[in-house]
Amino acid sequence: MSGALKRTDFVQPREFKFSKENMKLVEAHIAKYPKGRQASAVMPLLDIAQRQNDNWIPEAAMEEIARLLDMTRIKVFEVATFYTMYNLEPRGKHHLQFCTTTPCWLMGSADVVKACEKHLGIHMGETTKDGQFTMTEVECLGACVNAPVVQRNGDEFYEDLTPDNVIPVIEALKAGKQPKIGSQTGRQTSLGPLGATSLAKQAHDTGNQIMGEPAPAKKAAKAAAVPTEPKDSTPTDTKPKGKKK
Amino acid sequence: MPKLTIDGLEVTVEPGTSIIQAVEQLGIEIPRFCYHDKLSVPANCRMCLVEVEKSPKPVASCAMPCADDMKVYTNSPMAQKARKGVIEMLLINHPLDCPICDEGGECDLQDQTVAYGFDRSRYREEKRAVKDKDLGPLVKTVMTRCIHCTRCVRFGEEIAGVEELGVLNRGEYLEIGTYIQQLVTSEMSGNIIDICPVGALTSKPYEFTARPWELRKTQSVDVSDAVGSNIRIDTRGGEVLRVLPRLHEDVNEEWISDKARFCIDGLKNQRLDRPYIRQNGKLQPANWPQAFEEIAKRLKGVKGERIGAVVGDLADCESIIALKDFMRTLGSTNIECRQDGAQFDASEPCGWRFNTTIAGIEKADAILLIGTNPRTEAALINARIRKTWLAKHIKIGVIGQQIDLNYPYKYLGAGPETLEELAKGKGAFADVLLKAQAPMLILGPGAVCRDDGLEIHALARKVAEKYNMLRDGWNGFNLLHTQASRVGALELGFTGGDLDKMLKGDVLYLLGADEIPVNRIGKDTFVIYQGHHGDRAAARADVILPGAAYTEKNAIYVNNEGRPQLAKQAVFAPGEAREDWKIIRALSEIAGKALPYDDIAQVRARLVEANPIFGAIDAIKPATWKPFGKDGDCDKSPFGEYIANFYMTDAISRASKVMAECTDAFEQGKKEKTGTHG
C-alpha cells in the first residue's frame, strides 16, 4: 500500500465470506484470546482473508473481519495499511517479491530483476495481462546468505538466483508446476561455496573439543592443557590457535 | 502522595499524576502537541520532554507518572536540546505556508517553534505532500500540514464516539485518514478544529476570513440547545465571524456542538432590521413609532383574556419577564412557552429541570432514556453519557425510537406501555435499575410532546420514585429540553395559557415563536411578531418588531439544569433592531401601561424578585422533590422522533447556509443508511 502501488482499475467485490475451512481457522484464532480481546486476532484473520482471496484483501473482507472481531472498520484498515505484506489491491496468481536490499543487490539482484522484467514484459509493481505474475520490490527477506532471493506469495523462497536460473522458475510456475523451493544452484541450505567447511571440521582436525560434543579421544588431555602451556603444543596444533591469539 | 522537586520547587501531588500535570500545577509551561488533558495519552509527539535526574535520556513528561524524590528540570540544557530536536523533526515535512494558513497566529506549532525551536532550518531535502481528505462541509483539511499528533483520532474515539478517523500506512507514508473516503458524521466534529495543534484541520466556513489578532472576543453562552454551552464569540467590525467553546467543566467541558459553532452565518441572513406593518395584506416597512402606535391602537379595548403571548426558543429571560409583566398589565394570563405543544407539568421545578446536572451524569451507573435522542437534542449531554459509559460501562436502557447512539444500549420498548411495565417493576431493565447505586432517567421531548404528556410525566416520576432515583444528594429525574429559552421561561412561570385558545384570540404576541402551528392562527387574529429572523411566524405577522439575536444583547439564559448564565453583547443588532426587553418596555409605555424598569439592572432586579435563582449566575439551586404530573391512562402509540434534522432546529440555523450544506451532506446520507452500516 505504500505509495508505489496505487491502482484504481479494479473492482472491489461486494461481499466477502470466509470459506468453511477458513472459518474454522478464524474461530481457532479468535479462541486464543480472552473474551473482549478478540481484536488481537486481526492480523491472522487478514492473512487468512488474503490467502483465500488470491493474494489480496478486498474492502469487503476488512468489513467482515471488523464485524467478526467487533472492531471498527477503520481499526482493521489501520492494521492492513500498516503492514506491507497485506495487499489491498489485486495481485497476480504468483506474487513475486524481489529482495533488492544491500546483500541481494551485491549478489546481483538488479540483474535478476531485469531478466524477469524482460521475460515477463512488465515492470516492478505491475501485473502481467494474464493475471499470472506480479512483481514487487521488497526489503530484506532475511535470507542474505542465499542472496539474491525472491519470495512467492509470502511462503516460498527461491534462492541463489541468477538471470539464467530465475527464468526456469518462472516458466515452471507458468506451467503450473512446483519449482524447487530454496537454492536454485543445488547447494544444500546455506552451505558455503567451499562445501562443508566449518570450524567443527577444523576443530576436529586439530583435536579440539567442541562445546556440547564429546571430547576427541586421542588428544583431549593435551589440547586442554594447551592454553597454559604453549611450549608443549606441536606446530600443527598451534596453527589455528595462533590465529586466534 | 509522591513528593518531588520541579525546577527546584517542591510539590506534592496525587498518586498517578503525570509530570506534565504536576508542572502545570506550578504554573510552569511545558510545550506539547499530542497531549490534551481531555484525551488519552499516546506520548507520540515527544515535545514535552524534560530532564529527570538519574535518567540518562530525557523523559516524555505527559506519560511519566510522578514518583517520590524525583528531580525534574523543565528548562535544563538537556530539555532545551531535546525540544529543539523534536521541533526540527516535526518541521521536516511541515510546509512553510504559514502566511496562507488559517491557523496562523493561533498555531501551536508556530508558537512553539518560535519559543523552543531553532531560528533557521537545516533541512535541504524534499518534503512530502499528502492528499487532502474530504471531511464534509465543516472541516477543511490540509493534510500536508499534519504532524500526526492523533488528537483528532482520539477525539473521535473517546469523545464523539465516531471511529471514522484513523492512522493509515506507516513511515514516510503515514497519514490521518478515514475509512475508504468516508465523511466524519458527528454532531461534534467541529471540535477537531480546535484541538488540531497545526493547520491541518481548520474551519471551512471560516476559511481565509480573519487573523486571530484582528478579532474581538466576547464570552457568552450558546442558544442552539438547552445545554447552555459556554462560548467565545469572535467578531470583527460588527460581524460575528466564529464561535469557539469556552471551558466550563460542569456544562460543556471544552466542546460545543457543530450547530452552536457553525450556525452563526444564519445571523446574517433573513434578518428583520426594521419594523413592518401589514397594510392591505402586505408587510410594509415602517418605523418604530408607527409600529407601536399600530399595536397600541389594536390593543385598545381588547379584553385581557383575548390576548395571548407565546415565547419562542431563543428568547432571553429579560424579555420573558418584561413580556410577562406586560401581559399582566393588559389583564391577560394567556402566556405560554411550550410552543411545541409539550404537555409536561410546569408547576414544580423538579419536574422540568435536569436535576442530576450534566456533570452529575458521571456519577450515574444506570441510565434510562425515555422518548429522547440525546445525540440530536443535546449533543453535549450525550457526550457526557458516552464519557460515563466509556469510564464505567454503565447500563443504558432506551424506551422510544431505536436510535443510533454512540454507545451500546438495551432497547426496551417503543412507547408508554414499556414505561408502565417498568413502573410496576416488570421488564428486563427493572433489575438493573434496582441494583444500581445511582440510577437516573432522562425524559425527552419525544415523550412529553403529545396529548398524554402529563400522564407520562407522572409515570416517569413513579419510575424515578420506585427505583430509588431520589435520595440525599442525588436526584435522578431529568426532563430534557432542546430550547435555550425554555427553562428560563418555566422558572419565570411563563405558562398556563391554552395554546389553541391563544391562536384563535384577538391579539397574539409572538416573542420569536416560530415553532407554533402558524397555519392554525385565527384569520382575524392580530399577530405581533417580535424577533430577529424572518422565519415561519414572521410571514403571518401583522406587525413585526425587529429584535436582537443572542450575540447582540446582554441577557440571561437558563440552561437545562436551571443554571442562569450570562450572554454578552458581541455586536450591535442590524438596522433598527433593538434589545428585546427594551422593545417591550417601550411598547408598554405607548400602550399606556409603562413597565417599572428603565435599565438592565432594574430588569435583573425584577428577575431576582420573580425567582431567586437569577440572583446567582452560574449556580444551581437544587429543586425539592414534589409530586407532579397527572395520574391516568396513556395512549399506546410509540414515542416519536422530536428532532428530524439536527442541523436545522431554530430560526438562526434555518437561515444558515452552512447548516443547509450539513443537512445535504449528513442527514440525506443517514436516510440511505441500512442496518449494516453500524
Same domain for B281 and B382, yes or no, is no
Residue among B169, B178, B677 with most chain A CBs within 10 A, to mutate: B169
Q: Output the pLDDT for position A7.
A: 59
Quick check: is B665 in a domain?
no
**A72 chain-B contacts, CB cut-off 8 A:** 163-164, 179, 678
Q: Output the pLDDT for position B181.
A: 63
Q: Output the pLDDT for position A39.
A: 94
What mean pLDDT comes out for the span B440-463?
Answer: 94
> What confidence tens digit (pLDDT) does each residue in A196-211 have?
666 777 777 777 776 6
Contact B179 A74 (CB under 8 A): yes
Contact A74 B173 (CB under 8 A): no
Same domain for B366 and B318, yes or no, is no
Distance CA B293, CA B307 (A): 17
CA of B460: how far to CAs of B96, B311, B496, in Å?
59, 26, 22
For chain B, the first-to-last Cα distance in angstroms comes to 45
Same domain for B125 and B184, yes or no, is yes
State the CATH architecture for A94-183: 3-Layer(aba) Sandwich (3.40)
Quick check: is B315 in a domain?
yes
From the list A2, A59, A74, the residue facing B178 with the nearest CB is A74
Q: Where are the domains of chain A?
A: 12-82, 94-183
Final residue in a domain of this structure, among B30, B59, B91: B91
Distance CA B416, CA B410 (A): 16
pLDDT of B628 over the 60 cut: yes
Instruction: Please name the residue of chain B whose CA is at the shortest distance from the CA of residue A62.
Output: B179
Distance CA B455, CA B466 (A): 16
Spacing of C-alpha B69 from chain mean position: 44
Same domain for B507 and B598, yes or no, is yes
Q: Output the pLDDT for position B672.
A: 53
Quick check: is B244 in a domain?
no
Q: B83 and B116 in contact (C-beta within 8 Å)?
A: yes
For chain A, the first-to-last Cα distance in angstroms comes to 52
Backbone angles phi, psi at A174, to 5 degrees: -60, -40
Per-chain mean pLDDT for chain B: 93
Residue type, B317: C
pLDDT of B574 over the 90 cut: yes
Name the band, by pLDDT with cuts 50, 70 and 90, for residue B270.
very high
Secondary structure of chain A in the HEC alphabet? CCCCCCCCCCCCCCCCCCCHHHHHHHHHHHHCCCCCCHHHHHHHHHHHHHHHCCCCCCHHHHHHHHHHHCCCHHHHHHHHHHCCCCCCCCCCCEEEEEECCHHHHHCCHHHHHHHHHHHHCCCCCCECCCCCEEEEEECCCCCHHHCCCEEECCCEEEECCCCCCHHHHHHHHHCCCCCCCEECCCCCCCCCCCCCCCHHHHHHHHCCCCCCCCCCCCCHHHHHHCCCCHHHCCHHHHHHHHHHC
CB-based burial label for B120 (10 Å; 0-12, 13-18, 19+): exposed
Quick check: is B32 in a domain?
yes
Distance CA B666, CA B675 (A): 17
What mean pLDDT comes out for the span A114-139?
Answer: 93
Quick check: is B655 in a domain?
no
Quick check: is B521 in a domain?
yes
Classified by CATH at the fold level, domain A12-82 comes out as Arc Repressor Mutant, subunit A (1.10.10)
Quick check: is B538 in a domain?
yes
Backbone angles phi, psi at B587, to 5 degrees: -65, -40
pLDDT of A42 over the 70 cut: yes
Same domain for B100 and B87, yes or no, is no
Instruction: Please name the residue of chain A whose CA is at the shortest distance from the CA of residue B168.
Output: A78
**A82 chain-B contacts, CB cut-off 8 A:** 168-170
Q: B185 and B666 in contact (C-beta within 8 Å)?
A: yes
The closest of B208, B138, B236 to B657, measured between CA atoms, is: B138
Of all residues in chain B, what percent carry a pLDDT higher than 90?
90
CA angle B111, B261, B373 (to 5 degrees): 130
Quick check: is B347 in a domain?
no
Number of domains chain B is built from: 4
What is the grid cell recorded at B356? 442530576
From the list A59, A73, A81, the residue facing B168 with the nearest CB is A81
C-beta atoms surrounding B292 within 10 Å: 21
* Distance between B169 CA and the closest CA of chain A, angstroms: 4
pLDDT of A235 over the 80 cut: no
pLDDT of A234 over the 90 cut: no
pTM for the model: 0.88
Same domain for B591 and B549, yes or no, is yes
Instruction: Report how many Cβ contacts below 8 Å link chain A to chain B.
Output: 36
Distance CA B671, CA B658 (A): 20
Instruction: Please name the residue of chain B whose CA is at the shortest distance from the CA of residue A71.
Output: B163
Q: Is ipTM strictly over 0.85? A: no
Spacing of C-alpha A108 from chain mean position: 18
CA of A20: how far to CAs of A27, A54, A65, B238, B600, in Å?
11, 17, 15, 68, 76
Distance CA B292, CA B283 (A): 15
Name the band, by pLDDT with cuts 50, 70 and 90, for residue B677.
very low
Least reliable range by pLDDT among B165-179, B309-323, B431-445: B165-179
Give the domain CATH number at B458.
Answer: 3.40.228.10
Instruction: Please name the residue of chain A whose CA is at the shortest distance from the CA of residue B179.
Output: A74
From the list A3, A74, A81, the residue facing B165 with the nearest CB is A74
- Which residues of chain A are at the B interface, by a Cβ-Cβ cutoff of 8 Å? 1-3, 59, 72-75, 77-78, 81-82
Q: B663 and B648 in contact (C-beta within 8 Å)?
A: yes
Give the domain CATH number at B50.
Answer: 3.10.20.740
Residue A90: cis peptide before it, omega within 30 degrees of 0: no
pLDDT of B559 over the 70 cut: yes
- Which residues of chain B are at the A interface, by a Cβ-Cβ cutoff of 8 Å? 163-173, 178-180, 678
Distance CA B324, CA B309 (A): 8
CA of A43: how far to CAs of A38, A79, A194, B285, in Å?
11, 8, 42, 70
**B168 chain-A contacts, CB cut-off 8 A:** 77-78, 81-82
Could you tell me the residue range of the domain that residue B133 belongs to?
95-208
**A2 chain-B contacts, CB cut-off 8 A:** 169-173
Same domain for B489 and B603, yes or no, is yes
From the list B166, B172, B678, the residue facing A77 with the nearest CB is B166
